[in-house]
Amino acid sequence: MVSRDKLLAWIEALQKVYNENKQYLTELDSAIGDADHGINMNRGFTNAMAELEKKPPDDITTALKTVAMALIRTVGGAAGPLYGTFFMRASTACAGKESLDSDGVVALFEAGLEGVLQRGKAELNDKTMVDALTPGLNAMKQALNNGAELSEILQQGTAAAEEGMKNTIPLQARKGRASYLGERSIGHQDPGATSSYLMIKTATEVWG
């Protein structure tokens, strides 16, 4: 079960992960974007943690909403609205729950992805964060349906998200700044797919 405290531990771990990978994500973004994705993700989650520490949330829903608003306010480019929407939609999926069982965790990621799809209008193979989140979620749902424990569900999701992330390398970007490059976007790993993979991987490490 994922309690409020475990949810907060995930956000705290994400802040550390995005800080540690700030340069890596920015280098990926420099090839096909604005060269600021790592900087933006680090800034967003640093602000989110500051908000959570300033006013500790009573429950999971409030925690996720606080993160969403911090990301929307402080993250530049497309990442702010998209990640903000992910966490805002995730918060609605957790409404009224004191803790999340396996169904609840999968519902969190499913609601988040639905928000990203509606906000960004991206589809699979457009070379975006959707390319990591979609296979990751599908693998989680399959494992859940097979009766797997939460740790296994998250491990399956992480493996699929990693494969999806790597599969963005040969794709031509069809959304966002990278799409302006046309065929020159081929051969580069998408930074948004990479940060999304890290988000699922971190959940696995904290909750698994």
Residue-range definition of the domain harbouring residue 137:
2-207
Token pair 């890290």: residue = 198
2: phi then psi, degrees, rounded to nearest 5: -105, 110
Question: Which of 6-10, 17-21, 158-162, 176-180 is predicted least confidently?
Answer: 176-180
Q: Which amino acid is at 191?
A: P
Mean pLDDT value across residues 92-102: 96
pLDDT band at 78 (very low <50, low <70, confident <90, very high): confident
SS3 69: helix
pLDDT tens column, 9-49? 999 999 999 999 999 999 999 988 888 999 999 999 999 99
Does residue 45 contact residue 15 with C-beta atoms inside 8 Å? yes
CATH code for position 184: 1.25.40.340
Closest C-alpha to 25, from 33, 176, 137, 71: 33
pLDDT band at 196 (very low <50, low <70, confident <90, very high): very high
Q: If you average pLDDT over every residue of the chain, what do you get?
A: 95
| Cβ-count burial 139-178 (b if 16+ within 10 Å, e if not) | bbbebbeeebebebbbbbbbbbbbebbbbbeebbbebbeb
Token pair 């956000």: residue = 11
Q: How much is the pLDDT for 182?
A: 72
Rounded to 5, what percent of the chain is helix, strand, coil?
Answer: 75, 0, 25
Q: Which residues pair with 2 in a beta bridge?
A: 100
Question: Which of 76-80, 88-92, 174-178 is predicted least confidently?
Answer: 174-178
pLDDT tens column, 42-62? 999 999 999 999 999 999 999
Q: How much is the pLDDT for 109?
A: 98
Structurally, the chain folds into a number of domains equal to 1
pLDDT band at 180 (very low <50, low <70, confident <90, very high): low
**DSSP string spanning 153-201?**
HHHHHHHHHHHHHHTTTTSPP-STGGGGGGGGGTTS--HHHHHHHHHHH
pLDDT tens column, 105-130? 999 999 999 999 999 999 999 999 99
